[in-house]
Structure 1
Amino acid sequence: MTRGFGELDFLRALIPEVLIPLFALVTQLGDLWFYFVVLSVLYWLGPRTPLWRDGVNREKMAYVIALTLGALSLTLALKGLFALPRPPAPDVVPGSQFIPQTYHAAYEWLAVSDGYGFPSGHALGSTVVWGGLALTLTVSTFRRRLATAAGIVALISLSRLILGVHYLVDILAGITLGAAYLLAERRITGEDPRLAFWIASGFAAIAFVTTGFGVEGAAAVGATVGGVFTWQAVSPRLDRTPTRREAYITAVIGLPVLGLLLALTTTVSEILVASLLGNAAVIAGLLALPLVSNRQ
């Protein structure tokens, strides 16, 4: 039985198809690779980024990283539990006729999603990530940060509907669950990364079960457990106030190194143990890399 009520057909009739490739780009604001880049750079730069004023450091960004891993694990657990399909995929990817043939494969990677559809991982994850950043960053005012986060979440959610990969109920459930998770985490953990990583690992363990002990669940377990033990090891030695040079050296070195590590992990992603260990190594590398330029 479909979860939709004609909302996707309504949007397809309302939105000119030439604009659909634009929404395929917008949806990347809620994609895992984008979170990986943004959160890694903010963590490595620490208080040297202009998005922070006094009182914000790498520990707070580690907390947002832990929140993100928890949101991804929660999404995976719920998708496996409900096992509800996505809307039927069209024979031709919407908007692909406006993309040069050379870039069709890349466009399909941006615009098409597989796996289960409820709840929307993009809606849940973006609510947690962008909401978490609004609560953590200190640039501008809290009201403006919150409004910006809400606007980004709305655009990402709209893009999922326009691309036809979710029903509206999937989106609303994702936003509601994401907001509830974010608020509960802040109340329970008090913005302590250690507790947040442990909670994330709990959701990952549940996801491993609900997804049938597959590689996706193993990847979640690896990433979250890697976060738990790496943070416990590096946090006492972490330089909260690096020089500007140290912070930018860490970021310049970190992106290609972790990008390569992530690429290697992806190539063996169908092997359960390799997926578990590879994702643990990625998160461990992300958290521990600032120690390379630690002055202590």
Structure 2
Amino acid sequence: MVREALESLLFDQSTNEAIREALPEWGITFFELFTHLGDGAALIIFATLLYWFGAESRRQRRVLVIAIGIGALAISAGMKGIFVRPRPDLADGYGGYSFPSAHALGSAAFYGSLAVVADTGTRAQRYFLAGTVILLIAFSRIVIGVHYVGDVLVGVIVGLLFVAILLRDSTPEPGFVFILAGVIALVALLLGSTEFTTMTTGASLGATVAWYTIADASSNPRGASILFLAYLCLPLIIALRTATSVLGTPDLGSAQWTLEIVGYAIATGLILAVPVIAEQLNDWPPVEWLQGRLPFTGRTIDPEKLQRTQTDD
């Protein structure tokens, strides 16, 4: 009786339809746009930019956000591949599985961990802002019809629990979290999941190797140096993601499966190594020219320079 009641409340398409019909057209449009703040690509870009252009003194805290993000992806992809629950009928043509919501879980992990490790504003302000963004993203998945209420509820709970367990008492060593993400990906693979297993396995492996290689290295790149190196690496990352999307899910142990793992390992390792490698470009004339024209002080954006640039424009 209780189970049936929960099923009808949390996993009933009519709930989605009722919520959508209760909103005005502009509200639906708002949520259709806002949901992209929880896209995997958006979260990866946000985390990467924070890591690359943040102060060197807080590098370990920022790389933790990346590590937790990879772990959250391993959890959501693993659960999707194990439960293989279809999406609501409203999501016709929308690929992947429904349970849990990767947007909800990933957003809870990313914005939640960022609120914990950041030092901007007060803790209460950061938690309130992160909580608002997480809830809006989760609700947007119901509004646009690609998830049931239960999908996003479980996603948010699991994502926040993952952050709470890792960051409750102290700041863990990032390498440990990368290894944990790899273990989660491996367990999901052993339990039969094929959802993004090459990505999660490769990313956790590459990140672990890269982090333990550069953890003790001090890096002082210019912001322009990072931009130049990122520009050179970007085509490789785009080519990898495009190839995996076109080729589809590989068979376990196949050449494609192995190459995808290696590719994601290299790509993730490069992302972590960019600040260290970019320092070698600091004295390159094009970098010096660009650095003088962008609002950077070292590798961080200088608010005063940014304001002067906007005033000059």
Partner of residue 223, structure 1: 203
- Structure 1 pair 78–140 and aligned structure 2 pair: CA distance change class (3 A): same
- Distance across 1 between alignment mates of 2:104 and 2:79: 13
Length, aligned pairs only: 263
Partner of residue 288, structure 1: 273
Task: Select 1:174's aligned residue among 126, 145, 155.
Answer: 155
- Distance across 1 between alignment mates of 2:275 and 2:96: 35
What amino acid is the match of 1:286? I
What amino acid is the match of 1:16? P
Equivalent residues of 2:91, 2:146 under 8 A apart: no
CA distances 1:21-73 after superposition (whole Å, capped 9, x unpaired): 4322211111111112111111111217xxxxxxx511111111000000000
- Distance across 2 between alignment mates of 1:126 and 1:47: 24
Question: The residue matched to 1:203 in structure 2 has which SS?
Answer: helix
Question: The residue matched to 1:165 in structure 2 has which SS?
Answer: coil
- Distance across 2 between alignment mates of 1:176 and 1:18: 29
Question: The residue matched to 2:31 in structure 1 has which SS?
Answer: helix
Point out the structure with max Rg over C-alpha. 2
CA distances 1:174-194 after superposition (whole Å, capped 9, x unpaired): 111111111112248732101
What amino acid is the match of 1:263? I
- Distance across 2 between alignment mates of 1:173 and 1:85: 16
Equivalent residues of 2:69, 2:106 under 8 A apart: yes
- Further displaced range: 193-202 or 255-264: 255-264
Q: Structure 2 matches for 1:63-78, cutoff 5 A?
A: 63-78=64-79
Partner of residue 259, structure 2: 274
- Further displaced range: 144-153 or 9-18: 9-18
- Distance across 1 between alignment mates of 2:162 and 2:136: 21
- Distance across 1 between alignment mates of 2:233 and 2:170: 28
- Distance across 2 between alignment mates of 1:39 and 1:253: 18
- Distance across 1 between alignment mates of 2:72 and 2:233: 21
Task: Select 1:33's aligned residue among 41, 46, 52.
Answer: 41
Q: Structure 2 matches for 1:232-247, cutoff 5 A?
A: 232-239=212-219, 242=220, 246-247=221-222
- Structure 1 pair 165–196 and aligned structure 2 pair: CA distance change class (3 A): same
Task: Select 2:171's aligned residue among 180, 190, 194.
Answer: 190
Is residue 252 of structure 1 aligned with residue 242 of structure 2?
no
What amino acid is the match of 1:71? A
Partner of residue 59, structure 1: 60
Cα deviation, residue 209, structure 1: 3.0
The CA RMSD measured in Å over matched residues stands at 2.3
Q: Structure 2 matches for 1:83-232, cutoff 5 A?
A: 83-89=84-90, 113-187=94-168, 190-212=171-193, 214=194, 216-232=196-212
Q: Quote the sequence identity (%).
A: 28
Provide the TM-score with structure 2 as the length reference. 0.77
What amino acid is the match of 2:115? A
- Distance across 2 between alignment mates of 1:145 and 1:115: 32
- Structure 1 pair 215–167 and aligned structure 2 pair: CA distance change class (3 A): closer
Question: Structure 1 stretches of 5 or more lacking a match?
Answer: 49-55, 92-111
